[in-house]
Structure 1
Amino acid sequence: MKIEINRIFGLALAISVLPVLSARADDIIGQASVIDGDTIEIHGQRIRLWGIDAPKSDQLCRNDDSKLYQCGRVAATALAGLLWAIKRPVSCSPVDRDQYGRMVATCSLGTPGPDIAHWLVSNGHALDWPKYSKGKYENAQRSAEKANRGIWAGSFIEPWQYRACVKAGGRPAICSDEAADHR
């Protein structure tokens, strides 16, 4: 009986150490705070989630009743809710740096744990950004669209198109709701 308990304790100890062993030296691990729907901060470092694009904080979408709502804030709130509901450290593996000097990384809840970007896309709070993801989140997006989850319940402008419109001098309300909408 004593050997059995020692074996179980040893196995539990080994399993609890495995996640730590799988982290890379350049990974960032810690409690994350939300900056917006696709950007978090860990230990004072801003991290852009790789392969996805969420509506910007001032971006508007239309719901299933065609009423405007702040879809960027909804995306950020959903991400904050996920991080609050599952109280595990976020683990981010760097992929690149963006034009603003932020780390671009794949991030998960725990090591190993669910991919945060996949969760955002599959719940309709962000889009697969094929320019970068090469379609990694395409199936999750298709599933969200079919189920009318999140932004897929109404109409919206892709966040990358929204940013280009605003950069060209468009007002947020106009850039959020013009002819290029999805429905």
Structure 2
Amino acid sequence: MRIKDLLTAALILGTVALLADLLRRETTLEGHAFAVDGDTLDLAGTRVRLKGIDAPELGQECTRAGRPWTCGEAARRVLQEALRAGPVACTASGRDKYGRPVALCRAGGVDLSEHMARQGFAVAYLGRAYAGAEAEARAAGRGIWGASFEAPADWRAAHPRGS
């Protein structure tokens, strides 16, 4: 009976190790994409969340020169323009709470997350890898940094989906 228990334990450990390896693997997605919003792409029918940034939500408004400004729509347009550089290549390393791959994506060799932060249409998020690009945009007053805005995460909290 002892050998059977050892074999069962080895099989269970092997299965767990294999599953852990599969979860850690990076996935590559490539093709033509369009912007869903300022930090989400549709790549061949798969919604992909750009890693490291948080852009204004599509319905989010900011205030610029005392007037409402659809900064969420503007962020989507900036990302869509960046996608014109060519096919997109994304390396996904996880999923968000909605099940979307979270990925570092490039179009025409340009890191899309960095581009959005540098243009002032996204804040650095989780890990702050794009804090330098955000600081540059903030100092120059580009995008949302030339306006009054609510942080995208705070705006989402105040405007839950389906409400």
TM band (smaller chain):
0.7 to 0.9
SS at 1:157 equivalent: coil
For residues 53 and 31 of structure 1, the distance between their equivalents in structure 2, rounded to whole angstroms, comes to 22
Identity across matched positions, percent = 38
Q: Which residue of the other structure, out of 145, 148, 153, is the alignment partner of 1:152?
A: 145
- Is the 1:50–1:95 contact (alpha carbons within 8 Å) kept by the matching residues of 2? no
Query: 1:158-182 CA deviation, whole Å, 9 max, x = no partner?
Result: 000000111399x8xxxxxxxxxxx
1:58 partner letter: G
Residue equivalent to 1:69:
69
Unaligned 5+ runs, structure 1: 1-23, 172-183
Q: Aligned ranges for residues 136-147 of structure 1 at < 5 Å?
A: 136-147=129-140
Q: What does residue 116 of structure 2 align with? A: 120
CA, structure 1 residues 25+67, in 2 after alignment: closer, same or farther (shift >3 Å)? closer
Instruction: Flag as ranges the 4+ runs of structure 1 deviating above 2 A.
Output: none
Q: Quick check: which one's strand share is greater?
A: 2
* Contact 2:40-2:50 at 8 Å conserved across structures: yes
Cα distance in structure 2, aligned partners of 1:151 and 1:43: 29
CA contact (8 A) 2:42 2:48 kept: yes
Aligned to 1:50: 51
- Decide whether the 8 Å contact of 2:27 with 2:93 is kept in 1: no
Mapped contact 2:40–2:49 kept (Cα < 8 A): yes
Give the superposed CA RMSD. Answer: 1.9
TM-score normalised by length of structure 2 = 0.80
Aligned length: 139
CA distance in 2, matches of 1:77, 1:96: 26
Structure 2 contact 37–57 (Cα < 8 Å) conserved? yes
How far apart are the structure 2 equivalents of 1:69 and 1:93? 33
